[in-house]
């Protein structure tokens, strides 16, 4: 999923039973030995249900656009997976969270982000693109909830720079594989795009803690610095409102990040397969992603981290954190000034129906401490924030594998229910 490659093995072709989420030490001659209630659940409990749907999700992503019915079916299944998890894996848990568990926990958030961002393509209608961006923000918010829960266990006091305790930094640096780092990067991009700087600060704090332990981290930080420079330029020139950014094809290209490095999904490159299929070659700026890299027209997409040896120097994580803090403080001052003058919030006049969020009902303290949660900026997206699907019903995931979701033709199948089920997405 992260590398944009087809799966080597289709889960539907496998008849081997799933692994038992119990450590070998607890399996005796007579079966599984009961463990104490304080034992940490094995990460396979969180890992296997997500991996089981990846092949089907890849098939769904072959469609030019993903219908609302398909998104709702996946959301329902995401809820079922979340409801099947024991502590400390669910997002609504208050149990302490070790960064070593992030590799399993964030698989679900990564799958959601890949699904939601698909409709940010120019092949989709404006309302679909807006909704896709909102959904991506919901993933970023949920990711920040997990991170804040983990950071709360740090023993050292939080400082203005956003640096947590050395113990937590060491755990992050030693337990964060590349797919977790790139997920934090995507979440920071979409959060900054929507002016949710608290969420962006939380994600960047985690990336700064990883430091040079991941070779993907520095390119992500360099890209973030570039993106924030572009964003600040637009805000200073009055083009940084949500309405303006939603129609700014250059910024939409930048916030799409590594989508432009996957041939099937890229739209900003002259001659790309996606552009050819969408007949957008003549209307798309082929050199958009080359503002920093210096690549010209006619060159195909490549991974943002493919040229590690040729990367220029950058200012480091402190500048990225400082830029976000500056944007947040500027946002707070503008909001306070607007309130004191009796001004009205300049919110969009209309917005699509947004997915519900658990985040609104479970908000940990903002990090860093001095950058307290501010009221929404005067140009923030609609008051009802975009969010996570973990609210409401959804039964626990069955022990038997569910049907694999596949592509859809835009028509809802005939079922006894008014909602599409994940099994209805089978071929």
Digit-coded pLDDT (tens) for 46-90: 988 998 899 899 999 989 999 999 999 999 999 999 999 988 999
Instruction: Kindly state the greatest CA–CA separation across the chain.
Output: 75
Neighbours of 282 (CB within 10 A): 7
Helix (H) or strand (E) holding 143: helix 126-151
Statement: residue 155 has pLDDT above 60: no
Our CA angle for 137, 141, 147, nearest 5°, is 140
Comparing CA positions, the residue from 323, 96, 294, 114 lying closest to residue 229 is 323
- Mean pLDDT across the stretch 133-138? 95
- Tell me what pLDDT residue 17 has: 81
How far is the CA of 373 from the CAs of 148, 363, 388, in angstroms? Answer: 13, 10, 19
Is residue 278 in a domain?
A: no
Decide: 122 and 267 in contact? Cβ < 8 Å.
yes
- Tell me what pLDDT residue 30 has: 82
Q: What is the DSSP string of 23-92?
A: -GGGEETTEEPP--TTSPPPTHHHHHHHHTTHHHHHHHTTSSS--HHHHHHHHHHHHHHHHHPPTTSSTT
Is residue 309 in a domain?
A: no
Is residue 2 in a domain?
A: no
Is residue 377 in a domain?
A: yes
- Tell me what pLDDT residue 199 has: 95
How far is the CA of 295 from the CAs of 67, 286, 300, 301, in angstroms? Answer: 35, 10, 10, 10
Q: Which two tokens stand for residue 137?
A: 């923000």
Is residue 159 in a domain?
A: yes
Statement: residue 308 has pLDDT above 80: no
**What digits encode the pLDDT tens for the residues 19-52?**
777 777 778 888 777 666 556 778 888 988 998 8
pLDDT band at residue 391 using 50, 70 and 90 as cut-offs: very low
Is residue 96 in a domain?
A: yes
Q: What is the pTM of this model?
A: 0.74
Domain count, the chain: 1
Is residue 290 in a domain?
A: no
Provide the domain limits for residue 356: 42-266+318-340+350-425
- Mean pLDDT across the stretch 294-305? 38
Q: Which residues lie closer than 8 Å to 175 by C-beta, 6 or more apart?
A: 99, 100, 102, 103
C-alpha 265/C-alpha 20 separation (Å) is: 36
Q: Which residues lie closer than 8 Å to 342 by C-beta, 6 or more apart?
A: none
Is residue 227 in a domain?
A: yes
Statement: residue 295 has pLDDT above 60: no
- Tell me what pLDDT residue 221 has: 94
- Tell me what pLDDT residue 195 has: 93
Q: Which residues lie closer than 8 Å to 93 by C-beta, 6 or more apart?
A: 87, 149
- Tell me what pLDDT residue 312 has: 62
């Amino acid at each position: 999923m992260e590398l944009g490659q087809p799966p080597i093995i289709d889960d539907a072709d496998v008849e081997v039973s799933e692994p038992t989420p119990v450590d070998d030490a607890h399996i005796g001659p007579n079966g599984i030995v009961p463990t104490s209630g304080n034992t940490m659940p094995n990460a396979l409990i969180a890992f296997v249900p997500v991996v089981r749907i990846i092949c089907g999700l890849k098939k769904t992503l072959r469609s030019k656009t993903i219908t609302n019915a398909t998104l709702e079916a996946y959301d329902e299944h995401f809820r079922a997976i979340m409801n099947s998890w024991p502590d400390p894996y669910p997002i609504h848990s208050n149990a302490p969270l070790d960064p070593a568990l992030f590799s399993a926990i964030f698989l679900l958030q990564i799958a959601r982000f890949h699904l939601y961002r698909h409709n940010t393509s120019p092949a989709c209608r404006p309302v679909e693109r807006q909704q896709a961006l909102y959904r991506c923000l919901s993933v970023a918010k949920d990711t920040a909830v997990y991170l804040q829960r983990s950071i709360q266990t740090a023993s050292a006091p939080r400082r203005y720079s956003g640096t947590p305790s050395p113990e937590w930094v060491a755990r992050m640096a030693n337990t964060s594989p590349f797919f977790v780092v790139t997920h934090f990067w995507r979440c920071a991009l979409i959060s900054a795009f929507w002016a949710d700087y608290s969420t962006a600060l939380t994600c960047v704090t985690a990336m700064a803690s990883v430091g040079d332990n991941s070779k993907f981290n520095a390119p992500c930080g360099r890209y973030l610095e570039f993106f924030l420079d572009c964003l600040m330029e637009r805000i200073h020139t009055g083009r940084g409102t949500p309405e303006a950014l939603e129609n700014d094809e250059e910024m939409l290209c930048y916030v799409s990040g590594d989508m432009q490095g996957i041939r099937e999904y890229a739209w900003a490159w002259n001659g790309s397969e996606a552009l050819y299929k969408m007949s957008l070659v003549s209307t798309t700026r082929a050199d958009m992603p080359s503002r920093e890299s210096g690549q010209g027209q006619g060159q195909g997409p490549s991974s943002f981290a493919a040229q590690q040896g040729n990367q220029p120097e950058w200012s480091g994580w402190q500048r990225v954190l400082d830029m976000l803090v500056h944007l947040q403080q500027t946002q707070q001052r503008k909001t306070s000034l607007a309130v004191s003058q009796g001004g009205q919030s300049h919110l969009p006049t209309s917005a699509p129906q947004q997915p519900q969020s658990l985040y609104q009902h479970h908000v940990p303290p903002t990090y860093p401490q001095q950058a307290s949660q501010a009221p929404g900026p005067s140009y923030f997206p609609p008051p009802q924030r975009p969010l996570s699907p973990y609210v409401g019903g959804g039964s626990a995931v069955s022990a038997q594998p569910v049907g694999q979701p596949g592509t859809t033709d835009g028509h809802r199948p005939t079922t006894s229910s008014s909602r599409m089920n994940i099994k209805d997405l089978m071929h």
